[in-house]
Chains A and B, each alone.
Chain A
Amino acid sequence: MSKTPQNATTRISTFVLLIIFLTLALSLTALILATTFFGQDNKIIAGYLLLIGFIGVALSTYVLFQIRKRVLRLRIELPPIVTTIECRKCGFKIVREFQRGDYIFKKGELCQKCNENMLITAIYREVKEKEKTAP
């Protein structure tokens, strides 16, 4: 589920993308033209082209970012789950990724140090908390 979703819900329409990139291209052309008109001392047209160019670039990039955000919003991030296996005799500890079939208090593999049966003592996920703003 942590992969980028690729179903119908998240697919971005090619038509929308085409319009966005067309607007972006036209806006960039307007900006280039504006510099040419500035060179020719035609400041009114240059000013209008500059305005149109900036608005076009801003709008198309905004829409692009919004689309990207929508796809990212659909991702469900799952932090890795770790399993701690402990030897009750010598205290030797192994921390590894969770595997299907693991459960707390399951007798696991043999201890590398004392050859005793090890025990799964913990299964959990670690979450990094965002900073809290409340007093």
Chain B
Amino acid sequence: MAIVSALQNQLIQLQLFEEYSWIFNLLFYVIFVVFIFYGQRIQMYVMLREVEGSLYKLKYIKDEGRKIAIETIKEIGKPQTDPTGRVDRFLEYFTIAPQSLDPAGVVWKLEHILDVRDVRFKDEVKLMAPAADETQAYNLENTLEAAMALNYIYKIIRHFYLLGKKTLSLYIIMQIQMILPLIMREAEAYASALKAFAYGQPIGDGAGALVAAKLMYGYETRKMPKDCVVATVPIEGRTAFVIKAEGPGGNVGKIGDAVKAIIDENEGKIAAIIMIDAAMKLEGEEVGEVAEGVGAAIGGPGVDQFKIEESILKYRIPINAVIVREDIGDAVSPMRKEIFDSADKAIDRIKQVILERTKEGDKVIIAGVGNSIGIGQ
């Protein structure tokens, strides 16, 4: 009897459900219609929300960057007045690239603009941090540049976010949402670079400078134009002119000028040039992997590469490149162990190139390219 009454109860419940099933049907059709007409808009709002989340993170990183820069200036520079206003003004600095409608001579124009920028930055740092010594001033300049980069990234993303919100254009929102993971990686890399610059820790980009420093350690160095040092080192019976940016302050130097000066000093009698630099790795490649090739391995705006290429063309000097693979995050954050260990592998590769490509008694130039922060000589 109990089973029968339970079954009857179940039947009543089912009938109740059938009675209200039209509600579920209606709900289904409403959702269907809403998605047909507003699907794209919903997708857009989801994307906007995603960009907004990243924007919050960027704002946090940018604010931290500004805070670290101000704290470091106060700690090291011992300024008389509060440097906050000056730092805020510095973060908004911009550089206008030269006009390239007539490309002839654009490299020299670009070099001049970069020189003016460099002088201006150094002067600003001097005013902000009068008690900082040369090394600390270089590090402060790098710290401020990293904070500046973060400020710029934040502003660009905010611009597209607000523009997308204002115009409700799917394409504006979509393009920023699609490249967002890459931008966030870069921003996070700059965030870790801030501390490295503030404390003067070696960064991944300094792989080339580290190789040069290891080669020249123990030998007498002399200053070269501009902000570079050179040491004459005997390697495998050859005379090697080892060049790097002067450390341990955060500085990349003008390797192009230094290479040109050494070539001119030796009247072009250079058997080979070997350049060592950190280079972008592809996903799947190992960090710190050493690879070899030809060409001027040097990044930046291209002025130094142009100068080196001009000099080697004049005397037909063969140029070789040894690179240490790393990604953007590794390049600007404190040096990873893998990159540090790769310096010895790069030295072995350089020796191998010297043995294979030059004769005993030849002169070679070895240029370690990269930021010398935290790397002496």
Contact = CB atoms under 8 A, between A and B. Distances in A.
A126 interface: yes
A92 B326 CA distance: 31
B53 A70 contact: yes
B284 A132 contact: yes
A76 B192 contact: yes
Contact of B60 (A74, A100, A122, A125): A74
A100 B63 CA distance: 23
22 contacts: A1-B194, A7-B60, A7-B63, A9-B56, A9-B60, A9-B63, A70-B53, A76-B191, A101-B200, A103-B202, A103-B374, A104-B247, A104-B248, A105-B376, A106-B248, A123-B202, A123-B334, A123-B374, A124-B334, A125-B333, A126-B336, A134-B283
A1 B64 contact: yes
Interface in B334-377: 334-340, 374-377
A94 interface: no
A38 B72 CA distance: 66
A43 B213 CA distance: 80
A105 B59 CA distance: 38
A66 to B, nearest CB: 10
Contacts of B56: 9, 70, 74
Interface of B: 9, 13, 16, 53, 56-57, 59-61, 63-64, 68, 188, 191-192, 194-195, 199-202, 210, 213, 217, 247-248, 283-284, 333-340, 374-377
B135 to A, nearest CB: 8
A123 B57 CA distance: 29
Contact of B199 (A10, A74, A100): A100
A125 B375 contact: no
